[in-house]
Structure 1
């Protein structure tokens, strides 16, 4: 299984940062289709770190439907997962996204600056 991840972070603001929007793109870089199985409705985890210390996690305080589901990604196809960090504090951060599939893993990181 050859999954490649890319994480983008966009700071949305009207003078001050109101939110950071994350987009985690997972691409099947292999030659065979990949079948991903998930144990709940949350298919990707997002976290924000400040010098290695976690300051925000997407799943904290949230509940997700407990349901088995699957998603098939064909060769060269991309699946996209999104999250939003509301009311972030100013600073320099590292964002991390990780696929929550039962088998197969994919992670991506990006740096971001919140004014």
Structure 2
């Protein structure tokens, strides 16, 4: 089973977190921007794709800052331990820990 099977909002949340830490690639960003009208219709919402996802998740205004704070801690830890930085691994762990309803932690 793929990470996103049966979890349509999860892919959007993962992209939202990647965008918050400035690690979303341009191709995905352009695709999401092109999907804004469809997302707005699907979720009966207005705004950018980021605003629509944040609204669906009920994110407070400070959530992007919180994500960036944890990302900086992750980068500091990786540097201290001489580990490879993997933005996608960070996203998977961050989302599982903070939003288990849409992405339960791996056991």
Which has the larger share of helix? 2
Higher relative contact order (CA 8 A, sep 6+): 1
Structure of greater Rg: 1
- Normalised TM-score (structure 2): 0.28
